[in-house]
């Protein structure tokens, strides 16, 4: 007597099990890079958790497409940057709508260290806000280049464009960021860039 045919439920369970194994095989080797790339963008525990979960969910939903990508790790890291970038944009839109004094922030130390930390935090927020205003491809390229230290080739693969276009995205993003953040640079640095 032959083996009875597998039920639909058994086939589904087997397929999910194979997908889960494939998912883990893709994520495990680069999980540290995923964490680092998201953290470098959002720099906030709650935003990090949201972005990381969003990235994992996106990879799971698009697992077949990610596996077929010419460089799956680059594709996954791009998904991470997108998730972090989306959180930045969502936060910027929320802040623009809010009219609050952010009373939840701790009062800065009256000493020099407290003032320096506050200035550094404000500078970081201005940089992230400027990046969130860039066109998506430019923001992704610049974030991959400067937070993940990705090569132009890896950026091109992740963005599914040529290396020349990836370089152009970064160049244009740098130009826009230089203008947007000129108030943060000391006068001597501004003259050097001119």
Q: Is residue 42 part of a domain?
A: yes
Ordered DSSP codes for 111-164: SHHHHHHHHHHHHHHHHHHHHHTS-HHHHHHHHHHHHS---HHHHHHHHTS-HH
Tell me the pLDDT band of 194, cut-offs 50, 70 and 90: very low
**What pLDDT score was predicted for residue 6?**
58
Q: Is residue 121 part of a domain?
A: no
**What pLDDT score was predicted for residue 24?**
92
Average pLDDT value for residue range 33-55: 91
Which range marks the domain in which residue 88 is found?
16-95+126-185
Tell me the pLDDT band of 4, cut-offs 50, 70 and 90: low
CA distance 148 to 145: 6
- Model-wide pTM > 0.85: no
**Cβ-proximal residues to 124 (8 Å cutoff; 6+ apart), any chain:** 43
98-148 pLDDT per residue, tens: 654 444 455 555 556 777 887 888 888 888 888 888 998 998 898 888 888
117 or 32, which is more confident = 32
Q: Is residue 118 part of a domain?
A: no
Contact 39, 51 (CB under 8 A): no
Average pLDDT, the chain: 81
Q: Is residue 166 part of a domain?
A: yes
135-189 pLDDT per residue, tens: 989 988 988 888 888 889 989 988 889 999 999 999 999 999 888 888 776 654 4
Average pLDDT value for residue range 54-81: 93
**What pLDDT score was predicted for residue 2?**
54
**What pLDDT score was predicted for residue 17?**
73
Q: Is residue 105 part of a domain?
A: no
Number of domains in the chain: 1
């Amino acid at each position: 007597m032959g083996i009875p045919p597998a039920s639909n439920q058994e086939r589904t369970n087997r397929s999910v099990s194979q997908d889960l194994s494939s998912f883990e095989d893709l994520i495990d080797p680069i999980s540290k890079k995923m964490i680092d790339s998201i953290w470098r963008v959002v720099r906030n525990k709650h935003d990090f958790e949201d972005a990381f979960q969003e990235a994992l969910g996106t990879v799971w939903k698009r697992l077949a497409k990610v596996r077929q990508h010419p460089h799956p790790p680059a594709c996954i890291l791009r998904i991470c940057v997108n998730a972090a970038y989306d959180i930045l944009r969502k936060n910027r839109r929320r802040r623009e709508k809010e009219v609050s004094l952010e009373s939840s922030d701790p009062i800065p130390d009256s000493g020099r260290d407290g003032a320096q930390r506050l200035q550094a935090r404000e500078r970081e927020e201005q940089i992230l806000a400027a990046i969130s205003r860039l066109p998506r491809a430019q923001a992704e390229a610049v974030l991959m280049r400067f937070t993940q230290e990705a090569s132009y080739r890896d950026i091109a693969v992740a963005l599914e464009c040529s290396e020349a276009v990836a370089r152009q995205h970064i160049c244009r993003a740098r130009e826009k960021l230089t203008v947007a953040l000129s108030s943060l640079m000391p006068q001597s640095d501004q003259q050097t860039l001119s």
